[in-house]
Structure 1
Amino acid sequence: MDSIGEICISFSGTYAGAGMEELAALYDLIEKQTSQFCNEFSIACGPGCGTCCEHFMPDITDLEARLVAAYLLLIKRDDRLIERLVEERDSTTGPCPLYRADSPYHCSVYPARPLICRLFGACANGDKQGNAIFRRCRYNLEETMPLALQLGPDVTVMQDYSYALRGIDSSGGDGEFLPKAILAQLEQLSFLIAMIETDRSNPDDTPTPQAS
């Protein structure tokens, strides 16, 4: 297994699978739109920069945490990452326990990374008048992105994506800091995966009754 699509298939028909496909579709849309936005306005992080991950701890929804937990259990299979989450269970300030300085993307779960990680430095915010505003990331000392952009109301902003996420997350909560949120989902999914694998390895072998 090596893709988010395969994770969605694995949990199809379960409570955990509810919303996963919609979340994956939302992430695909975000990747496409933020790439277009960054290309149009020449926005890019500095070479090798991962400073935002070092100084920030995301708060994420249950659905986001579930996808990351599934990625850790089914694709990464790295106990050290889970141990790091346990060590940072109560951390609220960063660095993110999934941060990897030696990775090109600086993230251990990059394909499953949460919403804020996809949008930070790559998306505009909305102002009180409903217009979009982009401001350079304060860590972008290389100045590889514009200082500020005043955009119109037709540009998709962070708030729009946040509303879309909450529209598909049935938990209805405001989110929890990343370590605690993922650990809670890891506990639930570990049990569910064990049940799924047991069902697959022990098919119903009840004999067919003989006709009388």
Structure 2
Amino acid sequence: MFEILRNAYRETVMTTANGQEKLNKMITRPNILEGVSHEVRTQMNSIVAFSYLINNERFSENEKREFSEQIITSCEQLIGLFENFFDTAALETGTARENLRETNITKLFETLTSDFRVFMRKKGHDNVVLIQEDNLPEKLMLKLDAARTSRIVSNLFRNALDNTFSGFIKVGCTYSNETITFYVKDSGQDFSRSSDLLLSDNPEIQHSESQDTYSAMNLILARNLILAMEGKIRVEPN
């Protein structure tokens, strides 16, 4: 789960030198650039391969539709990876700041959970139940960077879905003492790995078939994005 304090907006000014120093630290961290580079190559290879196969007359129309869906998925994953990486870099260096706007948190959370249900149906996760939890009023208005917050929650949800083959995923949102808390709980496996990726300054990423590099990188970038937004992270076993 992660928490973001939301009261009066405090503007932060950062010098160019300090920003460049932070950028250098970010991109030279072990596994950050290596992980992004590895995942970009993986997705680009997938796009090229399926683009070639889709023009091969040996395959049926159903198979070609599957190839097309794979291409779209790879494109979406590339876009998400780049958005997470560049957003984090911009916030950490001070070249950009949070896009704080009055946001209906209740509506934002409802939209997120609705999108998650659609995604689960599309991907055929029939053995996983999505449970929505919140204590929000009918309309809660707060200053929040809605786009970045949605991306973080989506990254945590995708990671939970990747590790839950059957059981449940709980997506929740609470507001108390000027603090908005979003959380994702699941009955899946790989708690220790997810905990390491979210809490460690130098997490280990192994580029192998047994580890989903895309999910791992998005967890690391989600962590950096939360910290850049001055949020807090907690990881707890069920």
State the TM-score, normalizing by the size of structure 2.
0.27
State the TM-score, normalizing by the size of structure 1.
0.29
The answer to which structure has the higher strand fraction is 2
Structure ID, larger Rg: 1
The answer to which structure has the higher helix fraction is 2
